[in-house]
């Protein structure tokens, strides 16, 4: 009886103990790996949400400012009338791409602040991509950052103008000169904005956004013979 009791109370062998420790370490390693994967996924999701928020905010600011491009306080002077031989041209209508060594993409435009039919220095505006940051020009030489380099890096910034002509009249009451289409037409202008960016902390997190901006003060082309 004494020998039987001693055999039952001898406990685990060294081999059994090592096997148990190995199984425990495998379980702990699997748990740690799962926790790390969930943490990485959570951080990536948070980075994606933050990037989209920043991208939407920047696109909205760009669209709001572009929507006022070409504003002209004396827009009525650009309308065709029978008493006027030639309508005045909008001095703020130009939307010009600008090339520069310090920028990846830049665009220049203007809008009327004080009507004098001239583009003053405070009426000059622009947008550019410089060192991964979209910047807005508020007057000559005054550039302000629209995006935060600490949260995202803008990789692509493009603005593409689109023109569309709509007839104002089916035909002129009097015939146009031979070979000339003088029928008044309305030229509508819009700008397609494309912005792509990546998260500063995780370059693998990338998003892009597009917006269409309709410009005000469309241009009237042509005029029927008086």
- 204 within domain boundaries: yes
CA 95 to CA 171: how far, in whole Å?
31
* Segment 152-167, tens digit of pLDDT: 999 999 999 998 888 8
- Quick one: average pLDDT of 9-20? 73
Is 134 a member of any domain?
yes
Domain membership of residue 54 as a residue range: 43-75+84-160+192-212
Contact 106, 126 (CB under 8 A): yes
Nearest to 61 by CA among 147, 142, 130: 147
**Dihedral angle sign, alpha carbons of residues 58, 59, 62, 68:** negative
Asked if the structure places residue 151 within a domain, the reply is yes
Three-state DSSP at 162 gives: strand
Integer angstrom CA distances of residue 224 from 79, 82, 182, 185, 188: 12, 8, 6, 10, 20
Residue 35: inside a domain: no
pLDDT band at 142 (very low <50, low <70, confident <90, very high): confident
Q: How many domains, the chain?
A: 1
| pTM, to two decimals | 0.74
Is there a domain that residue 27 lies in?
no
Residue 15 in any domain: the answer is no
CB neighbours (10 Å) of residue 159? 20
């Amino acid at each position: 009886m004494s020998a039987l009791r001693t055999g039952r109370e001898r406990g685990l062998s060294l081999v059994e103990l090592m096997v148990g420790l190995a199984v425990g370490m495998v379980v702990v390693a699997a748990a740690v790996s799962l926790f790390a994967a969930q943490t990485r996924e959570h951080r990536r999701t948070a980075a994606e949400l933050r990037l989209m928020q920043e991208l939407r905010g920047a696109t909205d600011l760009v669209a709001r400012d572009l929507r006022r491009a070409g504003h002209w306080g004396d827009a009525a002077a650009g309308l065709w009338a029978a008493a006027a031989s030639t309508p005045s041209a909008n001095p703020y209508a130009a939307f010009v791409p600008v090339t520069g060594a310090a920028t990846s993409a830049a665009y220049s435009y203007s809008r009327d602040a004080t009507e004098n039919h001239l583009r003053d220095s405070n009426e000059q505006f622009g947008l550019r991509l410089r060192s991964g940051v979209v910047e807005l020009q508020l007057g000559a030489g005054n550039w302000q950052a629209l995006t935060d380099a600490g949260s995202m890096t803008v990789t692509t910034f493009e603005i593409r103008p689109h023109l569309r002509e709509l007839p104002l009249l089916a035909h002129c009451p009097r015939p146009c000169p031979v070979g000339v289409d003088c029928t008044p037409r309305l030229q509508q202008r819009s700008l397609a904005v494309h912005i792509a960016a990546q998260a500063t902390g995780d370059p693998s997190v990338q998003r892009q956004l597009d917006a269409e901006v309709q410009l005000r003060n469309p241009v009237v082309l042509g005029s029927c013979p008086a």
